[in-house]
Structure 1
């Protein structure tokens, strides 16, 4: 399980290996505090939705899931995309309402970041990878937390670098998104170099 977690954080980082959620990654990474808020929201949502989507997919959608009702030939796996999106949207909404009611300070600190998670393709990508790789429920929990933590680590590190680059002497043609793309590529290579972390 440790190996799966480390692989999800470094080797298969959703932002830096698969470039999922890169629009949010670039837009919200100008300051470390905002990147940290989005990263915390991402860990929470990934940690909930990936295992929840596992239960729904293997309990209701896959062929044979309805064998207990005498319908073993039913295969609803073609509905996985719309079901996963619905679960993600509902989870984010429930999480937002729960935090607003029971943890208002945390809700205020996350601010707009929770609704942004709903449209982040990295969240959907985590659930689709879980299905494609046939993870068990415990593996789905570990992968959900690992992929969320990896995405959060990447955006916070990226925001710290971008804050430092404000004081750098960058050519006019590379300022803004130009240097951001270069830094993203360099970070991607750096995370790929950590692919052996945790290996014996």
Structure 2
């Protein structure tokens, strides 16, 4: 990855084009119906929370598509049984519907379904959407990855799912809750808070 590529992507977050929307997109999964371990924490008796490992593989897999709007932190999610061009185009349509004005810059990785012939043909009919591909091995440039960590704790941690419909319902509820308290996503580490001293003592020697 060149510094020019990195600067271009970061520039979309810090200095977005006028009358345009920047959306960071990614897929989470596959999420399989099973019992997920609880979020890290402490029990009332002062011990780490433990949970029996429950691992399984099966045909009922769910992929969660997510798109983070950087300017206000609002999220668009969609669950699908597979990760392919058809469902990705459906997800792009949701993003376009959620942003009816101006161009839409979608920051995404180089998965084959994101740049397939079918997807490129679909984009010709939706000129407002413009792809910005993240270089290989630079997923840290996509804030959606950080949102997934928040989502896992809100929707999956400590939950037991019997089928994909329950995963879809948990995704919908968690997305609504997180959007209700969403804030703009700013690039970079925030400054450390200034410590306010309640009392100040002067010692004379």
TM bucket by the smaller chain? 0.3 to 0.5
Which structure carries more relative contact order (alpha carbon 8 Å, separation 6+)? 1
Query: Which protein has the bigger helix share?
Result: 1
Which has the higher Rg, Structure 1 or Structure 2? 2
Instruction: Give the TM-score normalised by structure 2.
Output: 0.32
Instruction: Give the TM-score normalised by structure 1.
Output: 0.33
